[in-house]
């Protein structure tokens, strides 16, 4: 942590002297913006074309903006209005009054990205919240990372982007084929990851080049989306069609043979004023800092915008991603100790993970009138994956065979069809002195999944045993001669089908939420959701050695679950730029595993998770800086845990085989700080800090206070960017130059397996030191990245140096997927604006 703070101070010292030189601006521009019918226009962006420095208009439509002496070009833009540019002359030491400017309504409502750069963090509503309310009115922490930041930082993966958000972190990279994100001690599974508001299977790394922005809604979002974990939800918003013609082509190259051409084009279809399109795509190929690891992927993202009438739009979006890479379970651990390495590879020749993902979304938005809007979304996603790999490496720690690893083979095939339909009605109205912002909605979705798992053939010498071993190696010394298994497989072609599992999860929900304005300073957000979920599953056992006593079809009992998800929050705004809030919400986790039956043999009901949150949101220095602080406490007081064999209740129980109950408790609590600035004299920054402690607070197996794995106690981030355009004249070669730095600190984490206070086989305490489970302490680290960019007319070049300190740490799942972070590396992106 101390290293992180020292680096941050150094960066401030290096960057902001340049910013101070830019403060030689010597004139003041004042003016006013009005609509076509005369009323003042609030929150419209007014910026200097030369430098990009800008402000938003006040409630009375006025603006004040410092500028260099000479002729300046004002760029004026706002959502729903025609963008204008006006030339004005600025005189040193004087105030120049700009004649009142009238903005005309733009019937095409150009893409919001044109103005969000001039909005503060607390002025940018996130579509993931489903309600047209300002973030200051939302009693919940919400973060938006815009495209400009993603481009300036040359974001390649989501892990590159989440460093801009406090408390959102990578918890693992199992098999090297995905990035497992989490926050507040809870994982972001596929139920918590969305693309354009539709659930997204995150078993594959999403393509970041198509993103318009990244939205994070922290904490419980169950009232809006049903079965989501308590940590929060993530929404990936892709680039949208525009009627203005434009686009870019580019090429990114980097370390270890990385290359990635990119294309993005958009505009009206023909000369149409009713139909616009966008098409972006890329191809990527690379080796790795990991021995024998390779990756190749292709991505295409087409979309169409139809203006069906002045009040109705239809957006059709689709994407296709093909990703093929070497599955990589990392460097291995011996006796729960990491054997330091960056390049050690433990998989077998021919290992491959191949994924195809296709999705389509249709969004119909209808403005019924000025106060009400109806939004309908339907979506479909197809996911196919085939994995051929060695099993996860667990090495021997016996003295005579220290580090020896017998590699077995695994093969799986998974297919998933996902369907979604949702309808949201939002509107504003008054009842007496109360002002309402109402959301009424319903959604239904369905997962149809099939999965085939393979096993080895019967042993010739032992017909009741399957052959699974491939070979044996020593993970520390590949030259060591290790005794090979007597019977072993020669390749994946020998594996045979073992089980066929078919699932058909169905969900439906109805919800209502109302933001009540009791006064200008006091607002209450209240709502309730009801969710129904059904999870049938059928398993077919092929006639293999492993299924000798099973055979045929096993139809698992169908699980039915329902839950209510309430929400209540209060917001107090002593001034317009500050909001204090407190809220309560809950979420739920369906207990659908094959063993989730209580002592009476009845299926377990969902576990309910309570969340309490308080915070303060501030827009400081006339909106130039947003600073938000949130504290939270999340309690799962009815977590599933096994009834131990020595429990006296088992003697009279109906279900004596591994009964379970909702009696465990896990508590997560912490603090998060998020700070963002607008560009000021060419300089901007994003900073954050989080503290989290997620621990068992009641358990039959684990000691009270035992921390849960994977969650860093502390994270901190600081990103700064400086554009030199404001410090140099129009004719200076350096006007197109920009520089940026990003530092990211990840504190201590735990992996391995939590120590147990009793043996689950008999419920008796472990003799000292005999529990085979141990925790792994994962080292903390500071990652320091630097970037440099230059633009000239339509050409631009960006160079990035990542992990300059060459820090070594790991993302660890249990003790069998120990994946080192990337070493020092570089990348460069050249692009041309069409």
Residue pLDDT, tens place only, 185-232: 999 888 889 999 999 898 889 999 999 999 999 998 999 999 888 999
Residue 393, pLDDT above cutoff 60 = yes
Nearest-5° angle of CA 107, CA 198, CA 319? 80
Residue 686, pLDDT above cutoff 90 = yes
DSSP per-residue codes, 723-785: EGGGGS-TT-GGGGEEEEEEEEEE--EEEE----SB-TTT-PBPPTT--S--EEEEPPEEEEE
Instruction: Spell out the residues 6+ positions from residue 598 whose beta carbon is closer than 8 angstroms to its own.
Output: 604, 655, 659, 660, 661
pLDDT of residue 729: 53
Instruction: Spell out the residues 6+ positions from residue 341 whose beta carbon is closer than 8 angstroms to its own.
Output: 331, 820
β-sheet bridge partners, residue 105: 81
Q: Cα–chain-centroid distance for residue 568?
A: 25
CA distance 23 to 194: 42
- What mean pLDDT comes out for the span 320-326? 97
Residue 781, pLDDT above cutoff 90 = yes
DSSP secondary-structure letter at 257? T
| Cβ pair 432, 371 in contact under 8 A | no
Give the residue with greater pLDDT, 726 vs 410. Answer: 410
| Cβ pair 710, 745 in contact under 8 A | no
Q: In 3-state terms, what secondary structure has residue 544?
A: coil
pLDDT of residue 113: 37
Tokens for 67, please give them.
């500028």
- What mean pLDDT comes out for the span 151-172? 92
Which tens digits make up the pLDDT trace of 370-386?
889 999 999 999 999 99
Parts of the chain belonging to CATH 2.60.40.1120: 26-106
> Worst-scoring range by mean pLDDT, 33-47, 259-273, 320-334?
33-47
- What mean pLDDT comes out for the span 94-105? 84
Average pLDDT of the chain, as a whole number: 88
Residue 303, pLDDT above cutoff 90 = yes
**Share of residues in the chain with pLDDT > 70 (%):** 92
What are the C-alpha distances in Å from 216 to residues 119, 140, 141, 412?
17, 11, 8, 33
pLDDT of residue 3: 55
Residue 110, pLDDT above cutoff 80 = no
pTM of the model: 0.84
DSSP per-residue codes, 775-821: EEEEPPEEEEEEEEEEEETTEEEEEEEE-TT----EEEETTTEEEEP
Instruction: Return the C-alpha torsion angle 692, 698, 703, 707, nearest 10.
Output: -10
β-sheet bridge partners, residue 464: none
Give the residue with greater pLDDT, 768 vs 402. Answer: 402
pLDDT of residue 36: 72
pLDDT of residue 553: 67
pLDDT of residue 112: 35
Parts of the chain belonging to CATH 2.170.130.10: 111-238
Q: Nearest CA to 24 among 73, 89, 93, 75?
A: 93
Residue 16, pLDDT above cutoff 80 = no
What pLDDT band is residue 688 in, cutting at 50, 70 and 90? Answer: very high
The answer to whether domain 26-106 has CATH 2.60.40.1120 is yes
β-sheet bridge partners, residue 715: 690, 746
Q: Which CATH architecture has domain 246-833?
A: Beta Barrel (2.40)
Parts of the chain belonging to CATH 2.40.170.20: 246-833
What is the CATH code of the structural domain delimited by 111-238? 2.170.130.10
- What mean pLDDT comes out for the span 679-694? 91
What pLDDT band is residue 578 in, cutting at 50, 70 and 90? Answer: very high
**Share of residues in the chain with pLDDT > 90 (%):** 58
CA distance 140 to 612: 10
Q: Cα–chain-centroid distance for residue 60?
A: 38
Instruction: Return the C-alpha torsion angle 113, 208, 262, 419, nearest 10.
Output: -90
* Cβ atoms within 10 Å, residue 30: 12
CA distance 537 to 422: 25
pLDDT of residue 478: 86
Give the residue with greater pLDDT, 84 vs 707. Answer: 707
């Amino acid at each position: 942590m101390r290293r992180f703070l020292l680096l941050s101070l150094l960066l401030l010292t290096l960057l902001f002297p340049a910013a101070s030189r830019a403060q030689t601006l010597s004139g003041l521009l004042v003016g006013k913006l009005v609509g076509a019918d005369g009323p003042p226009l609030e929150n419209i962006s007014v910026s200097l074309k030369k430098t990009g420095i800008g402000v938003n208009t006040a409630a009375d439509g006025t603006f004040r903006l410092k500028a260099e002496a000479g002729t300046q070009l004002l760029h004026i833009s706002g959502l729903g209005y025609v963008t204008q540019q006006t030339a004005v002359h600025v005189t040193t030491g004087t105030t120049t009054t700009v004649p009142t400017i009238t903005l005309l309504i733009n019937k095409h409502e150009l893409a919001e990205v044109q103005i969000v750069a001039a909005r503060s963090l607390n002025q940018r509503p996130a579509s993931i919240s489903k309600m047209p309310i300002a973030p200051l009115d939302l009693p919940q922490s919400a973060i938006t990372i815009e495209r400009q930041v993603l481009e300036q930082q040359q974001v390649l993966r989501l892990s590159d982007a989440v460093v801009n958000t406090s408390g959102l972190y990578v918890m693992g990279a199992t098999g090297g084929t995905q990035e497992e994100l989490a926050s507040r001690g809870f994982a972001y599974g596929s139920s918590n990851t969305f693309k354009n508001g539709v659930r997204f299977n995150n078993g594959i790394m999403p393509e970041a080049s198509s993103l318009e922005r990244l939205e994070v809604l922290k904490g419980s979002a169950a009232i809006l989306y049903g079965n989501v974990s308590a940590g929060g939800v993530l929404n990936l918003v892709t680039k949208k069609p525009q009627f203005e013609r434009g686009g870019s082509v580019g090429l990114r190259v980097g370390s270890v043979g990385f290359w990635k051409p990119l294309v993005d084009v958009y505009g009206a279809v023909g000369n149409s004023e009713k139909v616009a399109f966008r098409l972006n795509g890329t191809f990527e190929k690379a080796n790795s800092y990991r021995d024998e690891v390779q990756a190749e992927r292709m991505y295409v993202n087409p979309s169409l915008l139809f203006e069906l009438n002045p009040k109705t739009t239809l957006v059709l979006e689709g994407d296709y991603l093909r990703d093929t890479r070497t599955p990589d379970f990392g460097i291995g651990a011996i006796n729960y100790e990491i054997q330091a390495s960056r390049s050690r590879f433990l998989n077998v020749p021919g290992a491959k993970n191949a994924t195809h993902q296709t999705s389509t979304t249709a969004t119909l938005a209808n403005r019924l009138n000025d106060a009400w809007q109806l939004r309908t979304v339907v979506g479909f996603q197809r996911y196919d994956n085939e994995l051929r790999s060695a099993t996860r490496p667990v090495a021997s720690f016996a003295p005579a065979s220290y580090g020896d690893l017998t590699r077995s083979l695994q093969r799986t095939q998974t297919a998933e069809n996902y369907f979604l339909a949702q309808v949201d009605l939002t509107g504003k109205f008054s009842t007496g002195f109360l002002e309402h912002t109402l959301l009424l909605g319903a959604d239904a979705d369905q997962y149809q999944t099939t999965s085939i798992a393979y096993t080895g053939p019967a042993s010739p010498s032992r017909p009741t045993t399957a052959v699974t071993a491939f070979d044996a190696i020593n993970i520390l010394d590949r030259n060591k001669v290790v005794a090979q298994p007597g019977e072993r497989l020669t390749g994946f072609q020998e594996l045979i089908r073992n089980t066929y599992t078919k699932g058909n999860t169905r969900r439906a929900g109805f919800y209502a939420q109302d933001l009540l304005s009791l006064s200008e300073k006091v607002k209450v957000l209240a709502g309730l959701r009801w969710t129904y979920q059904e999870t049938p599953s059928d398993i077919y056992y092929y006639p293999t050695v492993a299924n000798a006593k099973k055979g045929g079809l096993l139809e698992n009992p169908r699980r039915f679950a329902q839950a209510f998800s309430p929400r209540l929050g209060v917001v107090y705004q002593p001034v317009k730029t500050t909001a204090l809030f407190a809220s309560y919400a809950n979420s739920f986790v369906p207990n659908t595993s094959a063993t989730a039956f209580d002592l009476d043999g009845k299926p377990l009901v969902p576990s309910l998770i309570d969340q309490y949150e308080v915070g303060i949101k501030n827009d400081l220095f006339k909106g130039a800086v947003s600073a938000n602080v949130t504290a939270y406490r999340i309690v799962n007081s009815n977590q599933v845990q096994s009834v131990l064999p020595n429990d006296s209740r088992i003697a009279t129980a109906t279900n004596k085989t591994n009964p379970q109950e909702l009696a465990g408790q896990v508590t997560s609590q912490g603090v998060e700080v998020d700070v963002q600035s607008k560009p000021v004299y060419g300089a901007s920054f994003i900073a954050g800090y989080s503290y989290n402690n997620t621990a068992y607070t009641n358990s039959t197996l684990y000691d009270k206070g035992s921390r849960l794995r994977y969650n860093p106690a502390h994270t901190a981030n600081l990103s700064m960017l400086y554009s030199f355009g404001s410090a140099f004249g129009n004719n200076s070669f350096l006007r197109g130059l920009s520089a940026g730095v990003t530092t990211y600190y990840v504190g201590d984490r735990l992996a391995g397996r939590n120590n147990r206070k009793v043996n689950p086989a008999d419920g008796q305490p472990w003799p000292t030191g005999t529990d085979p489970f141990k925790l792994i302490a994962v080292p903390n680290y500071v990652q320091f990245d630097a970037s440099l960019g230059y633009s000239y007319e339509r050409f631009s070049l960006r160079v990035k140096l990542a992990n300059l300190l060459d820090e070594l740490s790991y993302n660890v799942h249990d003790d069998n997927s120990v994946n080192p972070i990337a070493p020092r590396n570089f990348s460069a992106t050249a692009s041309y604006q069409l």
